[in-house]
Structure 1
Amino acid sequence: MRVAVVGAGVVGLSTTAELLRRGVDVVCHERAGGPMAQRSAGSSRIFRLAHPTPDLVRLAQAAREGFGRWEQASHTAMIAPGGCVISGDQVPGWAAAMAAAGAAHEIVDGRSGRLRLPARRPPSAALVDPSGGVIDVDAVRAHLIEVTSGAVVQDHVYALEDTPTGATVWSSAGTARFDAVLLTAGAGTSPLAAQVGIYTPPALAHHVRFTFPVDPAVSWQCWIDKPSAGLATYQHRSGPGRWAVGGSIDPGQVAWEAGRDAATAASRDAVLRYAREHLAVEPRVVDTLYCVTTPGLADGFEFRRHGAILAVSGENLFKFAPLLGEVLAEACTGGSTPAVADLARR
């Protein structure tokens, strides 16, 4: 069997690695920039079991087991523990979802010693996810590049055709036939999927994360804060003496038509102002990480198929990567279309 994976982000590489493990002939096409250079770029991500639904909590638990297998295979730690704190109006619902999935958690008062946050004024209450931590993106990247060596090619896929016996892929390298095609191309998924009648959310937006210098000795927890008023943020350690902050600003300021430069400037102003007023960090930006997002998807993912071609779309997929690799490899070889609810009951 021959499978084409379009997109060498973390999900595309995870699937390629699992297909190779199963003995499948697979080619992973990456347009430019090298593996994990677009939405999977950067050095760190938050890992958490905390999610708004029991199904997503269960899937995060399965993904954590997958990271454990990667850690064992590479002899490298990939998730630094420390916990993740959730604050805001969603705390009761997220706590209920964790309870339903049997995941350890605790709701604590903002003055509790269980909270280690950079906040000048801590939240009144918070959900503590003790299994949360920081994903070492560099370690994940190194492992996946090693195990997919030889299967990844720099090649721009620009057209697809579903056929009765598989699919045809047109790329800068020429034309090739495959038994199955998986689209994990981030912002490039929607236009390719549309060629074969698969709908994926087409809207795009700009998102920028900023890093501030802090005392290297601090051991703050990852923090997702969604207050009823003010800037919603996610925050975590991104290296020794470095604290990363991303904020959800006015959608109009980061809409695709606003342009990257304007969206970056607006995001920087909002996050820098927030850091000055609310965080115990040095209010000086030392690093900027830009990516393209699909507004409205939040956590989670969707799968859609037309014949031999399967497309996956979603946001915040990095923490699910080991699980998605296994699920998508099985779908490619078996011709199935996964469903989140079914996966959570496996």
Structure 2
Amino acid sequence: MRVAVIGAGVVGLSTSVALLRRGVDVVCYEAGAPMGERSAGDTRIFRLAHLFPDMVELAARSRSLFSGWRERAGTTLVEPVGTVVSGAGAGRWADAMAAAGAPHELVEPGSPRLRLPSPTFAGPALLDPSGGVIRVDRIRAFLVEAIGDHLRSARVEAVEQTPSAVRVRSGPESDTFDTVVLCAGAGTPGLAAGTGLDVPAALEHHLRVSFPIRPGAPEPLQCWITEEADGVLGTYQHLAAAGTWAVGGDVAGELVHWANGRPAAEQASVRALTAYAAEHLPFVEPRPVATVYCTHNPDLGDGLQFVRQGRVLALHGENLMKFAPLLGDLLAQAAVDGSTPPDAGPNATTR
């Protein structure tokens, strides 16, 4: 069996490695650097905490699979510092955690259980002790080594189904496969449309900014997800490179609209996130020292959606890094047996 995986982000690499472990002949296509766009950066947040019990359960399964990756990689891939979700909606997250049987605790600002870059914030706070910092840099090195020479540096221009196979065209070259898995990030909708699949295509610019951590901050700082404050519609925050704190946020849509262009959106995001840090994060110096840019679909939330048309299978969703080993297994198995994994999260009942 031959399978093409389009896209070498973390999901594409995970799927390719899972297929190789099943003895499948795999080619993973990538036009740029592996994990260079939506999987970019050195760290991300892992969390069991979600608003939907099925997502909590899937995150728990993924956390277990990360342990298997850790043994094969020979290094820690998720640093267990914990994750905190704060704000008036924290109770809803706690309800989903309880329904899934996941360990959690609701606390108020000032609790000794908290280690955040600010001692004051709008409470309550959900403590997810299974959460932590995903070491993206280590995962990238592990997956790239595991896939070896099955990674093909080429931009895929079209995916075309024939009665007996799927043709993948990249420049003047083409190759045929039994199955194609599309996980090409922003490139997925265009490639999917050529096969009869409808995948959400909206895009906006997104930026994560890192700031120096001031001396005296609690150690180790927990990952933190907050609600709206001062023009930032919500933030996610975590340790980045040594001594720096990454802050990403849902900046007002008109500032990061796709038509505005990347430079203007980046400048607006840096201003908004720096102002947020200056106002709300006393243990952080509001001086940007690094940024990570990616594209983002504003119409997708915390959820997983799988679609299939014949021999072509596609995935779309946001915040997928924490599900990487699980998604790799699910997509690999579906590629082998012709199935479609069930959706999860807010769209789980729409199929």
| Bin of the TM-score, shorter chain as denominator length | over 0.9
Shift of 1:125: 1.3
Alignment partner, residue 235 of structure 1: 237
Does the CA contact (< 8 Å) of 2:304 and 2:344 recur in 1? Answer: no
Aligned-partner SS, 1:63: helix
RMSD: 1.5
Alignment partner, residue 293 of structure 1: 296
Distance (whole Å) between structure 2 residues aligned to residue 55 and residue 121 of structure 1: 32
What CA deviation, in whole Å up to 9, does each residue of 1:216-240 have, x standing for no partner?
A: 7742110000147752111001122
Distance (whole Å) between structure 1 residues aligned to residue 299 and residue 115 of structure 2: 30
Aligned-partner SS, 1:135: strand
Once the two structures are superposed, the pairs formed by residues 1-346 of structure 1 within 5 Å of their partners are 1-32=1-32, 34-119=33-118, 121-172=120-171, 174-215=173-214, 218-227=219-228, 230-231=231-232, 232-280=234-282, 281-340=284-343
Q: Which moved more, 1:231-240 or 1:114-123?
A: 114-123
Distance (whole Å) between structure 2 residues aligned to residue 102 and residue 229 of structure 1: 35
Q: Which amino acid counterpart does residue 23 of structure 1 have in structure 2?
A: G
Does the CA contact (< 8 Å) of 2:88 and 2:123 recur in 1? Answer: no
Does the CA contact (< 8 Å) of 1:166 and 1:307 recur in 2? Answer: no
Aligned-partner SS, 1:117: coil
Give 4+ residue runs of structure 1 displaced > 2 Å after superposition. 120-124, 215-218, 227-231
Does the CA contact (< 8 Å) of 2:166 and 2:176 recur in 1? Answer: yes
Does the CA contact (< 8 Å) of 2:230 and 2:276 recur in 1? Answer: no
Aligned-partner SS, 1:252: coil
What CA deviation, in whole Å up to 9, does each residue of 1:245-282 have, x standing for no partner?
A: 01111111111111101110111111011111110211
Aligned-partner SS, 2:12: helix
Aligned-partner SS, 1:181: strand
Aligned-partner SS, 1:305: strand
Aligned-partner SS, 1:312: strand
Shift of 1:341: 5.0
Aligned-partner SS, 2:157: strand
Distance (whole Å) between structure 2 residues aligned to residue 160 and residue 283 of structure 1: 46
Q: Which amino acid counterpart does residue 243 of structure 1 have in structure 2?
A: W
Q: 1:98 to 1:223 in 2, by over 3 A?
A: same
Q: 1:340 to 1:76 in 2, by over 3 A?
A: same
How many residues are treated as equivalent by the alignment?
A: 342
Between the two proteins, what is the percent identity of the paired residues? 53
